[in-house]
């Protein structure tokens, strides 16, 4: 659902960043979680001898899918229908939301339980269903916390990563009139008891799909809490809400991705629950939905498929790029202003929701390359970010000071005389502002560089000049 209109304001990443950096509680929560996940990923991937081969294999499989996506989607749809399921196609996010609402109305659904799915955040499914009068309950613990708080996710895998355990305990105590200590086990126990009632009374379950096998029509969902399995098996109607890029060719390809996903996401060898669903409940089976609907959602993906940003569709939403990114680890997900934060979000958000609205996000990166190294699908995020920056420059969509600065830089780089003069002038201009070789405060328009860091005084001699003596 591309919501880019003349009335849609640009997202002010700079203002959001400044606000986030003032939040000490956010910094504490971010550091605790991202460091743990990133360290776990590094250790487990290093201990897996075939990790590089698995990454390359996964890349090849996904590239094959993207090259022949029309064929694999048709095969998947046929397989789902042969297994007894019903397939729906949605061009936009609004179309997808309307399909869910229609299915629910026709079956007199009142209460809906929902597992975590990023594409539903992308289409704003909850809000759409609530406007239609349905009661929608998130069952992933992180998503449930945010629903109670009236908040939104800030991480692809750990949606409530920006909240500390102390904040969550206070939220539950205030909202439900209880006295929970700030202990994860006690908070989880309380949430589990309340959600169990929701599962028992639900008329419909909505889940996402981590992967979907074209040859069998099997939908694969991986979770650590078991709520996804309950959403898929307890209510009489299940709706799978998935982007068209989730397809893999064969069910036998699944182990390649399972070995990478958990290691990359949370530093686990394997997630606790891996749920495989092939059609609705059959005669003689003890559980499962009696009706299975699969909604295949485009919402801008076909346009990306035909662009130079196709590789972004390899993403398996592991969040590894977020956990290792120095920018995300300091400012958090809400700073990005979109469903998809971090390095991959800086690519996806402009593509899905408007390049003009999120023109700042391609610049929300140091281009250090850590995201590329961490990505299990070998998505070259820095390359795509620089391509987006180049497009902005060609359109004249970058800041006037940036355009002026780059022109002056290009002029200096083409002239050895100007280059030497500029270096000398820069040093002498900064010298009065320095102390012991460092500048702690620069004047506008360079003041942003020294708000949170000191700037080194340029060397007396250039690197090349030192060899001429």
Express as a percent the part of the chain with pLDDT over 70: 97
Indicate the average pLDDT of the chain. 91
Amino acid 441: pLDDT: 85
- Classify residue 460 by burial, with Cβ atoms within 10 Å: 0-12, 13-18, 19+: exposed
Residue-range definition of the domain harbouring residue 455: 412-467
* Residue 76: strand, helix, or coil: helix
Would residue 268 count as lying in a domain?
Answer: yes
For residues 322 and 447, membership in a common domain is answered with no
For residues 46 and 149, membership in a common domain is answered with yes
For residues 390 and 343, membership in a common domain is answered with yes
Give the separation between CA 392 and CA 394, rounded to whole angstroms. Answer: 5
**Tally of domains in the chain:** 3
- CATH code (residue 372): 1.10.1060.10
Would residue 13 count as lying in a domain?
Answer: no
Amino acid 2: pLDDT: 45
CA angle 323, 324, 327 (to 5 degrees): 90
> What separation in angstroms does the CA of 217 have from each of 91, 108, 293, 361?
20, 27, 12, 36
111-114 and 211-213: which strand pairing? unpaired
Residue closest to 246 by CA, chosen among 272, 222, 281, 279: 222
- What b/e sequence results for 53-85 when a residue is b if at least 16 CB atoms lie within 10 Å of its CB, and e otherwise? ebbebbbebbbebbeebeebbebbbebbeebeb
Instruction: Please name the residue that has the structure tokens 């609705």.
Output: 280
For residues 69 and 164, membership in a common domain is answered with yes
- Which pTM does this prediction carry? 0.88
For residues 221 and 101, membership in a common domain is answered with yes
For residues 126 and 201, membership in a common domain is answered with yes
- Taking residues 35-59, report their average pLDDT: 95
Would residue 253 count as lying in a domain?
Answer: yes
Would residue 402 count as lying in a domain?
Answer: no
Q: Are 267 and 39 in contact (CB under 8 A)?
A: yes
- CATH code (residue 105): 3.40.50.10420
Amino acid 5: pLDDT: 41
Would residue 7 count as lying in a domain?
Answer: no
For residues 133 and 185, membership in a common domain is answered with yes
* Residue 294: strand, helix, or coil: strand
Would residue 10 count as lying in a domain?
Answer: no
Please say whether the dihedral angle defined by the alpha carbons of residues 242, 247, 248 and 249, taken in this order, is positive or negative. positive
Domain end marker among 243, 278, 301: 301
Domain end marker among 370, 395, 420: 395
Give the separation between CA 83 and CA 365, rounded to whole angstroms. Answer: 45
For residues 105 and 202, membership in a common domain is answered with yes
Helices (H), 214-278: 227-233, 254-266
Amino acid 309: pLDDT: 97
Amino acid 409: pLDDT: 83
For residues 344 and 277, membership in a common domain is answered with no
Band (pLDDT 50/70/90 cuts) for residue 47 is very high
Return the minimum-mean-pLDDT range out of 124-128, 210-214, 374-378, 397-401.
Answer: 397-401
Furthest-apart CA atoms within the chain: distance in Å: 88
For residues 293 and 357, membership in a common domain is answered with no
Give the separation between CA 240 and CA 288, rounded to whole angstroms. Answer: 13
Amino acid 292: pLDDT: 97
Residue 164 tokens read as 């500390």
For residues 330 and 229, membership in a common domain is answered with no
More confident of the two residues 1 and 161? 161
- Taking residues 179-184, report their average pLDDT: 94
Domain end marker among 249, 266, 301: 301
- Taking residues 354-383, report their average pLDDT: 94
For residues 418 and 442, membership in a common domain is answered with yes
Would residue 14 count as lying in a domain?
Answer: no
Residue closest to 238 by CA, chosen among 210, 209, 204, 212: 204
Residues facing 88 on adjacent strands: 295
Band (pLDDT 50/70/90 cuts) for residue 393 is confident
The yes-or-no verdict on residue 398 having pLDDT over 80 is no
Amino acid 1: pLDDT: 43
- Classify residue 316 by burial, with Cβ atoms within 10 Å: 0-12, 13-18, 19+: buried
Q: Which strands form 455-456's sheet, in the order they lie side by side?
A: 434-435, 438-439, 455-456
* Residue 113: strand, helix, or coil: strand
- What b/e sequence results for 194-233 when a residue is b if at least 16 CB atoms lie within 10 Å of its CB, and e otherwise? ebeebbeebbbbbbbbbbbbbebbbbbbbbbbebbbbbbb
Would residue 11 count as lying in a domain?
Answer: no
Give the separation between CA 103 and CA 98, rounded to whole angstroms. Answer: 9
């Amino acid at each position: 659902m591309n919501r880019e209109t003349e009335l849609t304001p640009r997202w002010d990443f700079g203002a959001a960043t400044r606000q986030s950096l003032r939040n000490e509680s956010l910094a504490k929560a971010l550091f605790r979680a991202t460091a743990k996940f990133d360290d776990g990923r590094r250790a487990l991937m290093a201990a897996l001898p075939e990790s590089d081969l698995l990454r390359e294999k996964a890349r090849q499989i996904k590239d094959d899918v993207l090259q022949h996506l029309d064929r694999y989607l048709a095969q998947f749809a046929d397989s789902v229908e042969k297994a007894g399921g019903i397939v729906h196609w949605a061009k936009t996010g609004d179309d997808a939301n309307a399909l869910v609402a229609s299915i629910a109305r026709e079956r007199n659904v009142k209460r809906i339980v929902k597992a975590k799915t990023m594409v539903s955040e992308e289409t704003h499914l909850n809000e759409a269903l609530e406007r239609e009068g349905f009661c929608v309950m998130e069952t992933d613990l992180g998503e449930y916390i945010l629903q109670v708080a009236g908040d939104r996710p800030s991480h692809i895998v750990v949606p409530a990563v920006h909240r500390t355990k102390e904040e969550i305990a206070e939220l539950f105590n205030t909202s439900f009139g209880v006295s929970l200590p700030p202990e994860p086990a006690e908070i989880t126990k309380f949430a589990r008891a309340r959600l169990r009632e929701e599962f028992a009374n639900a008329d419909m379950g909505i889940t996402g799909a981590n992967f979907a096998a074209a040859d069998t029509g099997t939908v694969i969902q991986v979770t650590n809490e078991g709520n996804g399995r309950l959403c898929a098996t307890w209510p009489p109607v299940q709706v799978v809400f998935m982007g068209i890029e989730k397809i893999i060719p064969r069910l036998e390809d699944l182990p390649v991705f399972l070995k990478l996903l958990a290691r990359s996401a949370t530093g686990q060898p394997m997630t606790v629950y891996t749920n495989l669903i092939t059609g609705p409940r059959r005669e003689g089976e003890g559980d499962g939905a009696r009706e299975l609907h699969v909604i295949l959602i485009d919402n801008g993906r076909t346009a990306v498929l035909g662009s130079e940003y196709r590789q972004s569709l390899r993403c398996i939403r592991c969040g590894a790029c977020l956990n290792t990114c120095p920018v995300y680890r300091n400012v958090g997900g809400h700073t990005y202003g979109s469903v998809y934060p971090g390095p991959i979000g800086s690519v996806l958000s402009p593509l899905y929701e408007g390049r003009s609205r999120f023109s700042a996000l391609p610049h929300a990166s140091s281009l250090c390359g850590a995201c590329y190294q961490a990505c299990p699908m070998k998505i070259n995020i820095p390359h795509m970010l620089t391509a987006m920056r180049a497009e902005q420059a060609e359109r004249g969509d970058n800041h006037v000071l940036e355009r002026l600065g780059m022109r002056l830089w290009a002029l200096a780089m083409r002239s050895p005389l100007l280059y030497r003069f500029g270096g000398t002038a820069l040093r002498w201009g900064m010298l009065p502002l320095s102390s012991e070789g460092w500048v702690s405060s620069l004047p506008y328009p360079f003041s942003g560089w020294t708000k949170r860091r000191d700037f080194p005084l340029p060397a007396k001699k250039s690197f090349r000049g030192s060899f001429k003596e």
